[in-house]
Amino acid sequence: MSKGKFAIGALIGATAGFVTGLLTAPKSGKETRADLMAAAEKAKAEAAKKAEYAANKAADFSKDAKLKAQQMAEKAKNDAMDLKQRSEKAVEGAKKGFFEKDKK
């Protein structure tokens, strides 16, 4: 079982236990509703905080991936330029050797 599924299951179980406890507690309906509203507001704030954290992490990951892609593209470009220069030198050397052979 993945950690995410376990965490979701634990959250659902905790929520169900809390709600069951509130509904079976010897409080008036008004007090129970107030407790439920307070718990819902707390859960909403916590969910918003976790969503913001996840969004920030996703943005950081995106920035890192973009930077790494740019670095890799630059390296590939530099490697291609180096290979091109080496190839041109090899062709020049081959031409020079070929023409020197013809002169002999």
CA distance 85 to 4: 52
85: pLDDT confidence band, cut at 50, 70 and 90? very high
Check: pTM over 0.75? Answer yes or no: no
Averaged pLDDT score across all residues of the chain: 84
SS3 state of residue 104 = coil
- pLDDT tens sequence across 60-82: 999 999 999 999 999 999 999 99
Domains in the chain: boundaries: 3-103
Per the CB < 8 A criterion, the answer to whether 51 and 79 are in contact is no
- pLDDT tens sequence across 38-67: 888 988 898 899 899 999 999 999 999 999
CA distance 8 to 3: 9
